[in-house]
Amino acid sequence: MLLPMKFSCEKALLLSAVNTASRAVSAKSSIPALEGLLLEAETRLTVSGYNMQTGIRTHVSADVTEGGSLVLSARLFGDMIRRLPDDVVVFSSDKNLNVKLTCGDASYDLTAISSADYPDMPEVEDQFSFQIQQKVLRAMIGETSFAVSTNEARPVHTGSLFEIGEKGLTMVAVDGFRLALRREPVERVDGGAFSFVAPGSALGEVEKICEDTDELATVTLGNRHLLFEVGHTELICRRLEGEFLDYKTAIPRANPIAVTVDTKTMIASIDRVGVVISDKQKSPVRCVFEEDRVLLSARTGNGEAKDVCKISGDGKGLEIGFNNRYLLEALKYCPADTVRMELNTGISPCIITPLEGEENFLYMVLPVRLKNS
């Protein structure tokens, strides 16, 4: 028999929990309960969303008078909470799964689904784990995820590689056209060195859950799943299986040309010449690296654009073409005002690294063959 459930909670806290957990809810599912949020009231309230790939569980402080669990439509419940006045929400249900919400003078009645219909989220065995500041994890995901592949032909590359060892955490994303790498120290490692690939879609959610704080996030590797614990929220997702690119051998480092570039100036130049390039009018940006300057140009059916960007160093007249978006994104996401660009030939990748100090980031962009004109 189902037991009645009753709790009260601040609207703002409840809405935040509902919004967070709803990000893992299936929009359409053959299991109706998966279109809902699981609410569990014990000493506190736990709100969970799960789409059989990624699960998000978040805990909220609430005054629980009668414990229990049930499932509510994520969309409807979210819409109701959003529209309630900013006050304490009183939630009560009876043994027939009839739910009443009251807040100030407003009230809603709705029907729940039994929590027995809600699939269990996987348990993650505590084999290996590490801790890292939330703001660092958030930045690392944000500065690499643009290079995660969207091509399902190689599922392992639709995620990012995490390598945990003596140098801390190395995160790598690659899509066949560019590679993004970030490296940062971690606070604590349990279980020795380890690595795994986390799905890009799940990392996008982890990035949103992490806050701009020094507080630690814990990442745990299980046999088949990963657990990210951030504040009062847990995210569980499947590991991606398969052979990730051996990035250490894929990155050429014996490059004879090295120039120093002001990131914002180079971004502005690429942006300027990229105006004539569109999805219908594709063309690479032609770059000629000379002494202390780069000549940039692009020509399509839309028109022709040219610009000159100041740099430091001798590009030795190297002519090379790039997809404007790929080069732009590498420069946009790199966390430095000035970078070193390493080049070799017109068909060799461009490597972007910090000017000096620890190599905490590296971006690689493959060139596009230029038609001689």
- Encode pLDDT of 244-280 as tens digits: 999 999 999 999 999 999 999 999 999 999 999 998 8
Q: In which residue are the tokens 């189902």 written?
A: 2
Residue 370, domain member (yes or no)? no
Residue 134 and residue 97 share a domain = no
Contact 352, 326 (CB under 8 A): no
CA distances, 94 to each of 8, 115, 196, 243 (Å):
15, 14, 45, 51
Helix (H, G, I), strand (E, B) or coil at 123: coil
Residue 373, domain member (yes or no)? no
Residue 218 and residue 299 share a domain = no
> 289-308 pLDDT, tens per residue?
999 999 999 999 999 999 99
> 281-291 pLDDT, tens per residue?
889 999 999 99
Range of the domain at 334: 252-365
CATH code of 73's domain: 3.10.150.10
Distance, in Å, from the CA atom of 322 to the CA atom of 320, rounded to the nearest integer, reads 7
CA distances, 328 to each of 200, 268, 325, 357 (Å):
21, 9, 5, 24
Contact 254, 327 (CB under 8 A): no
Burial of 238 (0-12, 13-18, 19+ CB in 10 A): middle
Say what the pLDDT of residue 192 is.
87
Residue 91 and residue 37 share a domain = yes
Confidence of residue 6 (pLDDT cuts 50, 70, 90): very high
Is the pLDDT reported for residue 373 higher than 60? Answer: no
Residue 371, domain member (yes or no)? no
Residue 154 and residue 107 share a domain = no
Residue 105 and residue 53 share a domain = yes
Task: Specify the number of domains making up the chain.
Answer: 3
Say what the pLDDT of residue 1 is.
53
Residue 181 and residue 218 share a domain = yes
Question: Considering the chain, what percentage of its residues have pLDDT values greater than 70?
Answer: 99
98: tokens are: 């009839």
> 114-159 pLDDT, tens per residue?
999 999 999 998 889 999 999 999 999 999 999 999 999 999 999 9
Element (H, E) at 20: helix 11-22
Say what the pLDDT of residue 30 is.
86
Residue 122, domain member (yes or no)? no
Residue 331 and residue 293 share a domain = yes
Residue 281 and residue 244 share a domain = no
Residue 172 and residue 203 share a domain = yes
Residue 372, domain member (yes or no)? no
Confidence of residue 65 (pLDDT cuts 50, 70, 90): very high
Residue 232 and residue 344 share a domain = no
SS3 content of the chain, % helix, strand, coil (to 5): 20, 45, 35
Distance, in Å, from the CA atom of 177 to the CA atom of 207, rounded to the nearest integer, reads 24
Confidence of residue 346 (pLDDT cuts 50, 70, 90): very high
Q: Which of 162, 230, 220 is nearest to 188 (CA)?
A: 220
Distance, in Å, from the CA atom of 222 to the CA atom of 283, rounded to the nearest integer, reads 45
Residue 295, domain member (yes or no)? yes
268 versus 32: the higher-pLDDT residue is: 268
Contact 2, 114 (CB under 8 A): yes
Mean pLDDT of the chain: 95
Is the pLDDT reported for residue 69 higher than 60? Answer: yes
Q: Which of 117, 141, 158 is the last residue of a domain?
A: 117
Say what the pLDDT of residue 2 is.
72
Residues 6+ apart with CB under 8 A from 268: none
CA distance between the termini of the chain: 79
Residue 103, domain member (yes or no)? yes
Side-chain-facing half-sphere of 102: CA atoms under 13 Å? 8
Average pLDDT over residues 323-341: 96
Residue 312, domain member (yes or no)? yes
> 156-203 pLDDT, tens per residue?
999 999 999 988 999 999 999 999 999 999 998 888 899 999 999 999
Helix (H, G, I), strand (E, B) or coil at 48: strand
Question: Considering the chain, what percentage of its residues have pLDDT values greater than 90?
Answer: 90
Confidence of residue 232 (pLDDT cuts 50, 70, 90): very high
Q: Which of 94, 117, 140 is the last residue of a domain?
A: 117
What angle separates helix 324-333 from helix 263-273, to the nearest 10 degrees?
Answer: 160
Is the pLDDT reported for residue 242 higher than 60? Answer: yes
Say what the pLDDT of residue 223 is.
92
Distance, in Å, from the CA atom of 63 to the CA atom of 9, rounded to the nearest integer, reads 6
153: tokens are: 């032909």
Is the pLDDT reported for residue 3 higher than 80? Answer: no
- The pTM for the full model equals 0.94
Q: Which of 67, 91, 117 is the last residue of a domain?
A: 117
